[in-house]
A and B are shown apart, each in its own frame.
Chain A
Amino acid sequence: MASRERRAVSLLAVLLCQGVTVLPVVAQPTLKVGAIPDQNPERLNRLYGQLADELSDRLNVKVRYVPVSNYPAAVSAFRTGGLDLVWFGGLTGVQARLQTPGAQVLAQRDIDARFRSVFIANTSSGLQPISSINGLTSLRGKRFSFGSESSTSGRLMPQHFLAKAGVTPSQFSGGRAGFSGSHDATIAVVQSGAYEAGALNEQVWTSAVNNGRVNTKKVSVIWRTPEYVDYHWVVRPKLDQRFGKRFTTRLQKAILGLKPTTPRQVTILELFAAKRFIPAQASQYKPIEKVGRELGKIR
C-alpha cells in the first residue's frame, strides 16, 4: 500500500511540474523584430538571422526575429509589446499605430511611396483591358478574388478603386468576392479559371511573370491602379528608455543605411524586394487610413 501511495504522490508531482515552466525568467532588453513580406515570405523565415545580426552589429543590442505570419496577430503583438519593430503593410501599419499611441513610422522602400495593384483576368473570361477606372464595371457578375483579407495591395486598395467605379463585392458572381489568401494564390486561381478575375500587388505580378511562373496565355493584366503608399517599418514608442538615448533615431539610420555593399546587406534588401529604404512620414498614410475607415477595416 505504501509503495502505491508513493507512486500516486510522484505521479501528482509529475503532473504539477508542468506549472513550473510558466514562472518568470529575467530577460535582458532585446529588440524584437517581426516582418511578413509580400514576396517569398518563407525565405525571410529561414534567413532572418541575417537581418537580426545586421541590426545587432549596427546597434549593439540583442535582436531577435519573432515569426508572426498572421496580420491581425502582428498588429496585436505590436500593441501588447511582443514586437518592437515591424515591417507592416499599409493597412496593418495604420491599424497598429492607431492601437499603439506614440508608435512611429521609420522608413519605407523606394517603391512603397508609389505602389500599385494590378487587376488580372483569365483570357477565357472575355474581360477586355480597361482604360479608365469606370471600366471596372465590366467586373460585375464575374467571379472575382482578392488576396489576403488584411492586404493593402491585394484587397483594400483594389476594393477602394472598385467602390469608386460603383462596384461592390456583392455584385460579383455568387454575391461576394473570394479571398485566395495570398498574391501568388490569386494568380493561380485566376490562371486556372476558378475565378475569372482578381487583384494583386503589381510587384509580385511582375516578378512572377519574369520568373516564368505565369502562363500569360491564360491570364493577363487588364488594369493598373493609380499610385498609393504601402509597406513601412513601424516602431513602438519609448524604445529610447529601454535601449538608451536616441535609439529610435539610430535604428532609423541603421535601416536607411542598408546598401547593397556587403553580401549580408544584399541578402536583406533582396528579402524585402527593396533597392534601398527611404525615410517615411505618418502623414503619407492618411489616405490609407481614410480608405480603411470607409471600407470598415479600421473602426
Chain B
Amino acid sequence: MIVPVRPTAPALVLLPALALLPVLIVVLNGAHGGGAEILGSFVVGAVSPSMDPALLKALLIGLQVTVATALTGWSCSLVLGVLLGCLSSERLWLTWSLPAWPAIVLRRLMALPRSIHELIWGLLLLQVLGLHPWVAVMAILLPYSCLIARVWRDQLQSLDPSRLQAILQTGSSPMAACMTALSPAMGSVLVSYGGYRLECALRSATLLGVFGLGGLGMDLELSLKSLQFHELWSGLWLLTLVTIALEQGLRCWRSWGEQAQFGQRQAMGFAVAVGLSGGLGGLWLAHLFPEAGSLNWLPVQWPDLHSLQLAAQELPWLSMLWETLILTVLAAGIAIGLPPLLLLLNPARPWQHCISGFWILVRVIPPPLAVLLLLLSNQPTLAIGALALGLHNSGVMGRLLQEGLEQQDHSAQVALTSSGASPQVGWLYGSLSPRSPSHLAYGAYRSDVILRETVVVGLIGGSGLGWQLLESLSSFHWAAVLLLITTYAALTLIGEWLSDRSRQHWLQS
C-alpha cells in the first residue's frame, strides 16, 4: 500500500520561506559598502525628519486627498466586490436552481481587472476619461473589487452547505435561506477582511497621487526623486502614524464586537460605516476638487491586428515571462514564509510586538524606495526586486497572520506547552497549525497582488513584464500594452487555477 506523503499544515506554511535561501545567497554575495554614506543619510533622515512649514502644509493637504481617495475607493470596491462575489459563487446560483455556468464565466472574466496594477489602471483610464479625481478611485476600484469578489466567493463556497440545505428543505425562499444560513459567517468575513482592505486602499491611494490629484504619495515620490531624505521621512512618518491609527481603530472595533457578542449587529454597523465612508470620501473629493467636472468617455483607437502582430514579434517573450515568474514566486515565498518564520523564532510577547513594528515599517516603505535602498549596498539583480517586493508584502501577510492568531483560542497552545513541549513547538502546533489554511489562502491572494506589483519594481530591476509594460506605456505603444495586459491576465488565471488545485490537494483532504 502506498501512503501519500504530505507535509503537515504548519510545515506547509513555513515551506515558502525557502525562497529566502537563493535570494539571500545572491544578495549577500553582491553586498558592498559603497552606498554607506547615502544609506547613512537615509537613517539620519528618519530621526530628523524635516519640519519645514511649507512641507508640512503640503503633506497635510496631501493626506486629505489620499484619505478621501482611499475611503471612496475602499467603500465602492467592498460594495461591488461583495456583489460580484455573490454573483460568481456557483452555490448561490444553484440555490436559486439556476445553471452555474454564469458564475464560472464571471469568475474567469474577473481575472483581467485583478491582474493589472492600480497605477496601470490609472494610466489606462486616463486615456478614456481624462484627468479626474474619480480616475484614481476607479483605478483602485477595478482590481480591488475583483480581488474582494474572489475572496468572498471562496469563503461562500467553503462554508458548510448542510445548514443552507436544511433551511431550503423547509420550503423557505432561497433569499431567506441564504440570509439565515450564510450571513452570520459572512458577516465576520466582511468585518475582518473588509477592514483590512481599507489599509490596502490607503497604500494604493498613496501610489496614485501621480495623476493630478497630488496627495501624500506624490510628495513622497518627488522627494525620493531628488533623494531629500529628511523631507521623505516627514511623509513616511505621517503615513506610519495613519497606518498605526487605522490598525488600532480596527482592533478596538473587533474587540468591542467580540465582547458585546453582537456579531450580526457589528456586521450591520460595519456595512453602514462602509456606506458612510464612501459618501464622505466622495463628497470630500468633490470639495477638494471643485472644478473636476463630469466624467466623459473619450473615443479610443484600438490597435489593429497588423500592429499587434508586429508588437508580438518585437517583445522578448521568453526572458520577460521567465523573469516575471521568478520574481513573483520568490517574492510570494518570502511574503508567505517570513511572517511565521519570524514569529516562530520567539513566541514571547515582547518579541511579537517588535515584529508588529517591523511589519508596519515594511508596509509603509514603498517598494521603489526599498529597491533603491537595497541597491545602494548591492548589485542590480532580480533578487533585489524579489526581496523588496517580498518584504513589503510580508508586512501585509504578517499583519493578517498576527490578527488571526490574536483572535483564535489559545487553549491548544497552552495544553501543548504545559504537557512539556517547548514554546516553539507549542506555538507551531497549538497556534500556527489551525491558522495554516487561512494563511495559505491569503497567501494565494497575495501572490495575485505580487504579480501585478512586479510593475512597480520593474523600473529599477529593468526587467520582466512590468518594465516592458511601463516602457510601452511611456512610448504610447498601445499594441504592446494590450498584449502585455493580456499576458498579465493569463498568468493570473493560471495562478488562480494552480492555487485552487493545490488547496484541494493539500488542505481539504
Contact = CB atoms under 8 A, between A and B. Distances in A.
Interface of A: 7, 11, 14-15, 17-18, 20-25, 27, 30, 34, 39-42, 45-47, 64, 66-73, 75-77, 80-83, 95, 99, 122, 143, 145, 149-150, 174, 176-182, 184-185, 188-189, 191-195, 213, 215, 218, 296-299
Nearest to A176: B462
A30 B278 CA distance: 28
Interface hub of A24, A145, A185 (most chain B Cβ within 10 A): A185
Nearest to A76: B126
Nearest to A29: B291
Contacts of A27: 290-291, 293
Nearest to B129: A80
B275 A47 contact: no
Contact of A191 (B34, B122, B214, B274): B34
B76 interface: yes
A176 B463 CA distance: 8
A177 B462 contact: yes
Please name the 9 residue pairs, one residue from A and one from B, whose CB atoms are nearest each other, closest first.
A82-B131, A192-B35, A24-B294, A193-B34, A21-B282, A42-B222, A14-B275, A182-B225, A80-B130
Contact of A46 (B55, B285, B470): B55
Interface hub of A21, A23, A177, A195 (most chain B Cβ within 10 A): A21
Contacts of A297: 474-475
Contact of A184 (B209, B226, B378): B226
Interface hub of A30, A66, A76, A296 (most chain B Cβ within 10 A): A76
Contact of A188 (B35, B132, B214, B476): B35
18 contacts: A24-B293, A25-B286, A42-B228, A45-B222, A66-B212, A68-B211, A69-B209, A70-B210, A149-B470, A177-B462, A180-B372, A188-B35, A192-B32, A193-B32, A194-B35, A195-B380, A296-B475, A297-B475
B460 interface: yes
B37 interface: yes
A14 B477 contact: no
Interface in B10-57: 32, 34-35, 37-38, 54-55, 57
Looking at chain B, what size class is its interface with the partner chain? Answer: 35 or more
A82 B222 contact: no
Given A25-B292, A179-B462, 17 more contacts: A27-B293, A42-B223, A45-B58, A46-B58, A47-B54, A66-B131, A68-B210, A70-B211, A71-B474, A83-B131, A150-B474, A177-B462, A179-B459, A188-B35, A191-B34, A194-B380, A213-B227
Interface of B: 32, 34-35, 37-38, 54-55, 57-58, 72, 75-76, 79, 122-123, 126-127, 129-132, 134, 209-214, 218-219, 221-228, 231, 268, 271-272, 274-276, 278-279, 282-283, 285-286, 290-295, 298, 368, 372, 375-381, 459-463, 467, 470-471, 473-477
B127 A76 contact: yes
Given A150-B474, A188-B372, A192-B376, A25 B221 contact: no
Contacts of B227: 184-185, 188, 213
A298 B477 CA distance: 8
B225 A42 contact: yes
What secondary structure prevails in chain B residues at the interface with A? Answer: helix
A299 B475 contact: yes
Contact of B282 (A20, A181, A298): A20
Nearest to B298: A80
Contacts of A42: 219, 222-223, 225-226, 228, 231
Contacts of B214: 45, 67
A73 B131 CA distance: 9
Given A18-B279, A25-B291, A185 B372 contact: yes
Contacts of B132: 82
A95 B293 CA distance: 26
A262 B109 CA distance: 59
B326 to A, nearest CB: 14
B231 to A, nearest CB: 6
B380 A174 contact: yes
A145 B379 CA distance: 12
Contact of B34 (A24, A150, A218, A299): A218
Given A14-B272, A76-B123, A67 B209 contact: yes
Contacts of B35: 188-189, 191-194
Given A184-B225, A189-B375, A194-B378, A77 B131 contact: yes
Contact of A73 (B38, B211, B471): B211
A25 B132 CA distance: 12
A45 B219 contact: yes
Interface hub of B35, B131, B460 (most chain A Cβ within 10 A): B131
A52 B126 CA distance: 24
Contacts of B381: 174
